[in-house]
Amino acid sequence: MQLTAPAGRRTGLRDTDGMAVASFVLGLLGLLVLNVFLGPIAIVLATVALVRGTRRPGRAWLGLGLGVADLVVLAAFMQADNTISWSI
């Protein structure tokens, strides 16, 4: 008699929840530093977490939104400085 879910199923859900949280944290951090790298990573992690069915869809959606916001901020600063990169 098995009392818990199969190991593969449990690990998969925990992994997707971790991806959702990681996308949120990286998206938030990307607003301050390295948005050219952290924005796309946050977008990919959030998308994978949502596709795989995370139990934390709110954090995944926030991570997705913040990842997109990272790229928008990057584009705005690049446009303001007339350069292909920006710095504080």
In a domain, 46, yes or no: yes
**In the prediction, which pLDDT does 10 show?**
52
CA-CA distance, 64 to 46, in Å (whole number)? 5
Task: Give mean pLDDT, residues 32-52.
Answer: 92
Q: In this model, does residue 4 exceed pLDDT 80?
A: no
- Residue 33 in any domain: the answer is yes
Tell me whether residue 66 is exposed, middle or buried, using C-beta atoms within 10 angstroms of its C-beta: 0 to 12, 13 to 18, 19 or more: buried
**67 against 77, higher pLDDT:** 67
Percent of the residues in the chain that have a pLDDT greater than 90, as a whole number: 47
Question: Residue 4 is encoded by which pair of tokens?
Answer: 């818990």
Q: 66 lies in which domain range?
A: 14-81
- Report the amino acid identity of residue 9: R
Of the two residues 11 and 14, the one the predictor is more confident about is 14
| Structural domain count of the chain | 1
Is the per-residue pLDDT at 16 higher than 90?
A: no
The pTM of the full predicted model, rounded to 2 decimals, is 0.78
Alpha helix ranges (H) inside 31-56: 35-52
